[in-house]
Amino acid sequence: LYLNRPAAVQEDEIDQYLAKQDGKIYRNKDPQLCHHGALGKCVHCVPLEPFDEDYLNHLDPPVKHMSFHAYLRKLTGGADKGKFAALENISCKIKAGCEGHPPWPEGICTKCQPSAITLNRQKYRHVDNIMFENHTIADRFLDFWRKTGNQRMGYLYGRYTEHKDIPLGIRAEVAAIYEPPQNATQNSLELIDDPKAAAVDEIAAKLGLCKVGWIFTDLLSEDMRIGTVCYSRNKDSHYLSAEECITAGYFQNLHSNPCRLSRDGYFGSKFVTVVATGGPDNQVHFEGYQVSNQCMALVRDECLLPCKDAPELGFAKESSPEQYVPDVFYKDTDKFGNDVTFLARPLPVEYLIIDITTTFPKDPQYTFSSAQRFPIENRDILGETQNFHSLSTYLSQCTSTAFLGIVSDFHLLLFLVTNEVMPLRDSIGLLLDAVRTSNEDLAQTWKKFEEWATIEQLCSNSLGYEAMGGPSVPSSSSAMWSCLHCTFMNQPGTEHCEMCSLPRS
């Protein structure tokens, strides 16, 4: 009896690669404990399985969560080699098609009623490490907060690779951050519909990248003179708020993980969440997370709510005539040390979170050029705009003689494809291939096309328009301004500094 699984699930390349790896942890012969020949093996030197908890706990630092592929090895081990192993996606919805009774709320039965959920801390994680290729990517993203004091959100574009520090581990490498349209203040973020979202994904795919996660800031300046920030997210407050967990669950459901061991063809997600926030040393730290598969199910089926006054608490909805919600429980110890089951109303979000180490490499890597910096999209509020005038300025500042180095900028390529005057969506394929393969000859071939000549003409026209008195930068009423007293960047249209309350002039 074989399980009814989808015939052809196209798993991600990294999953296909890891599925073929041995995964075992090989150990050398211990001279003190091993008393056998060079070819022999004993309990002290026999290879360990990738899911060996004792080995993971003794790593430095200890690993709380085994990798997802190590978990699959554990699941598919044994005599039957996982023939009957299956990964079940949780459903919190009433099963459709039950005809023995009236539909909810008039009736429900054990066949169609979803099971109660007991939350547990997930033992595996789909991504084991997040790595930014270099500090420049993160610093440019943080510049928005430094200049405005407002929070910022972006999507992480990169690739999934093998993380060799953990058996069968997966690393999310970040090569660029795309900042979508958004409204932000010092303590809120609101995303706006993005008409360019599909084009960004398309360009990234042609560059060999995909959307691997999202990042947002939660920063509050502590001392502006020495550049310290408040340490606000810790064990006494929260690491992720319930609202952020719900948002992360929403994104993870949008980017589900293809999996051949699931009847549905997908299981969990490799989409990560990164928070730029103050650390214990009052410097900016990057903290990586995912939410558990149980949390993804609760979010997908609209069963989880945030608590208004307590960010560290979520709330499992109660059933209503419009929606049946199964009971959600979690286990904890009471003051006497006994295991007690609690109803998840409210629910500590720590049961939903999996933390992921976030790092920068010792030797910086660059998918895109580090020397040049084209303005980042959707930063008009800073007076940083993407237009042909800024492109002309950018080209004039480029010291590189290599055309590939000039155009190897994610934000520049986005502008070339999505600008409204001369969009190059259908004719930029060769240039994207050149950037992806670091091929200067291919870039020079594309440079000879008439599209680039037209772009250069538009750049020179924009400079000529400015010389004739045309507007080149936003007027003072519509641009952000720096306070003369404390240097804080204030919103346009204000006459008193938001930070020190002193007048503008």
For residue range 204-242, list pLDDT tens digits in order: 999 999 999 999 999 999 888 888 999 999 888 899 999
254: phi > 0 → left, psi -120 to 50 → alpha, else beta; which?
alpha
Domain count for the chain, please give it.
Answer: 2
pLDDT of 476: 41
Residue 117, judged by CB atoms within 10 A of its CB (0-12, 13-18, 19+), counts as buried
Answer yes or no: do 172 and 255 share one domain: yes
Rg (CA), the chain: 27
Is 88 inside a domain boundary? Answer: no
Answer yes or no: do 295 and 406 share one domain: no
* Nearest CA-CA partner of 485 in 472, 500, 471: 500
- Provide the CATH number for the domain around residue 209: 3.40.140.10
Answer yes or no: do 261 and 131 share one domain: yes
Answer yes or no: do 348 and 439 share one domain: no
Answer yes or no: do 300 and 421 share one domain: no
Share of the chain above pLDDT 90, in %: 58
Query: Could you tell me the two tokens for 211?
Result: 């959307």
Answer yes or no: do 343 and 398 share one domain: no
Answer yes or no: do 279 and 391 share one domain: no
pTM of the model: 0.87
Is 333 inside a domain boundary? Answer: yes
User: Among residues 304, 324, 359, which one ends one of the domains?
Assistant: 359
Is 421 inside a domain boundary? Answer: yes
Answer yes or no: do 180 and 301 share one domain: yes
Is 348 inside a domain boundary? Answer: yes
Is 415 inside a domain boundary? Answer: yes
Q: What is the residue type of 191?
A: L
Share of the chain above pLDDT 70, in %: 92
pLDDT one-digit tens code per residue, 334-368 = 788 888 899 999 999 999 999 999 999 999 999 99
Tell whether the model's pLDDT for residue 173 goes beyond 90.
yes
Is 471 inside a domain boundary? Answer: no
Q: What is the residue type of 258?
A: P
Answer yes or no: do 176 and 141 share one domain: yes
What span, in angstroms and rounded, lies between the C-alpha atoms of 23 and 47? 10
Is 498 inside a domain boundary? Answer: no
Is 35 inside a domain boundary? Answer: no
Q: What are phi and psi of 218, to 5 degrees?
A: -140, 80
Answer yes or no: do 266 and 226 share one domain: yes
Give the residue numbers spanning the domain of 423.
Answer: 380-465
The pLDDT of 421-427, averaged and rounded, is 87
Answer yes or no: do 437 and 293 share one domain: no
Q: What are phi and psi of 292, to 5 degrees?
A: -70, 165
Mean pLDDT of the chain: 87
**Beta bridge pairs of residue 286:** 276
User: Among residues 465, 481, 500, which one ends one of the domains?
Assistant: 465
Answer yes or no: do 340 and 387 share one domain: no
